Amino acid sequence: MRKTVLPVALALLLMQPAVADEVEVKYKTFYGHVSKLDNEDTQALQFAFGFKHVGSGELCTINKARISTQKVQIPLTVTPENRFTIQSEKALRLANAFVVIDFKEPSNQCDISVQLETKSAYLKTEYTFQEMQFIYQQYEAFFNEMGSFLSFMMPTVNGLMLQFSDKNLRETTKTGETINAGTLMLDNEWFERSRGLKLQTMPLRITAIATK
């Protein structure tokens, strides 16, 4: 079987120019994603949004981003990786809000990239087995819920992948696992050993290893 690791890139719809290097995307485009995480079974997860350059495959540079309505302007925090998160608010959807993104590159060269990842509150250097299992189960719950009607199309979680800021990082964790090229893969065999994890370096994100 072929293994795939989130993030999943999706085509961007409903994007329209605002000014020369800005675009406005309807808030409901993002709400359709983030509203899927509005329950306890997925409380540790979030969607991080970015825009991939159609030529290079790298994320387009976002100078700034905000949520815009007729009454309010809400700044969004853009990470050094050029991704941002958005809150799930029915009021913003009902207000026909827009997300306004200011790009460095020409906006017509940037397509949306949606990444499912663990919230920053769950990133640290030491985990009990129960904490790692909790994150694993959060991803399982998400895919199970999304696949309730089309289960044959949804991936199955087969572990967790920890990514680090240094893409060249190669080191051994305090519990003996090997980080290679800035990535630590914890497959189902690792989880069967029911042990904790102690890292020397805090991860940048945790995503799911999934198999279709």
Q: For 41-97, write each residue's pLDDT tens digit.
A: 999 999 999 999 998 989 999 999 999 999 999 999 999 999 999 999 999 999 999
pLDDT (0 to 100) of residue 8: 38
Q: Which range among 8-12, 25-29, 182-186 has the greatest average pLDDT?
A: 182-186
Burial bucket for residue 92 (CB in 10 Å: 0-12, 13-18, 19+):
buried
Average pLDDT, rounded, for the chain: 88
pLDDT (0 to 100) of residue 144: 86
**Per-residue pLDDT for 134 more than 50?**
yes
| 155: phi then psi, degrees, rounded to nearest 5 | -70, 160
Of residues 6 and 147, which shows the higher confidence score? 147
Residues 6+ apart with CB under 8 A from 179: 162, 164, 169, 170, 171, 172, 173, 201
Cα–Cα distance between 118 and 141 in angstroms, integer? 13
Cα–Cα distance between 46 and 205 in angstroms, integer? 11
Cα–Cα distance between 71 and 56 in angstroms, integer? 38
Q: Within 13 Å and on the Cβ side, how many CA atoms surround 95?
A: 14
Position 164: which residue type?
F
pLDDT (0 to 100) of residue 2: 42
